[in-house]
């Protein structure tokens, strides 16, 4: 049974059958799939300082966004990179995917590394995005994760996939 449908996500209540045969009623959130991109150039990573209303603060994170209907993940990664950083990538390398919070949502985020950056104004920022591009040296990333400067899970996973 559909409980809510909005522009970006919908929620449903459904009866699920566990592998043990037990049935339970669960609420599942369907936000659509997304991408996150780590733009890297000459040992510098372009991250975002972005205001996130759900946590009412600015966070440091990788450029990311939701796939449009019918859009392929790599095309979405290229679009989001330009929209949020003002840079296009010569190469986009897939780095797998993550489930964000599989306890209550089916959201999958496809991870990409972007190289060969050049300025682009093909796409503009969304009206509700408050974003500042922050250049971070690759060698500073681990310390920023350890001290909590970077606490966004998709960004931590993406850094791990690109540099481990």
Instruction: List residues with catalytic annotation.
Output: 127
Beta strand pairing call for 87-99 and 108-119: antiparallel
Contact 50, 61 (CB under 8 A): yes
State in Å, rounded, how far the first CA of the chain is from the last one.
Answer: 42
| 21-to-16, 17, 18, 24 alpha-carbon distances in Å | 9, 6, 5, 10
User: Which residues on adjacent β-strands are paired with residue 4?
Assistant: 11
């Amino acid at each position: 049974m559909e409980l809510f449908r909005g522009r970006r996500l919908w929620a449903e209540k459904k009866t699920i059958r566990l592998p043990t045969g037990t049935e339970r009623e669960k609420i599942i959130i369907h936000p659509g799939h997304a991408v996150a991109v780590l733009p890297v150039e000459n040992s510098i990573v372009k991250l975002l300082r972005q205001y996130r209303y759900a946590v009412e603060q600015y966070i440091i994170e990788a450029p990311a966004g939701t796939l449009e209907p019918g859009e392929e993940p790599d095309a979405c990664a290229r679009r989001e990179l330009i929209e949020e950083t003002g840079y296009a990538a010569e190469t986009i390398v897939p780095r797998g995917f993550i489930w964000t919070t599989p306890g209550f949502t089916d959201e999958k985020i496809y991870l990409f590394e972007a190289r060969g950056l050049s300025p682009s104004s093909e796409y503009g920022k969304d009206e509700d995005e408050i974003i500042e591009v922050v250049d971070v040296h690759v060698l500073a990333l681990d310390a920023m994760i350890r001290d909590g400067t970077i606490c966004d899970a998709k960004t931590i996973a993406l850094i791990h996939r690109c540099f481990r």
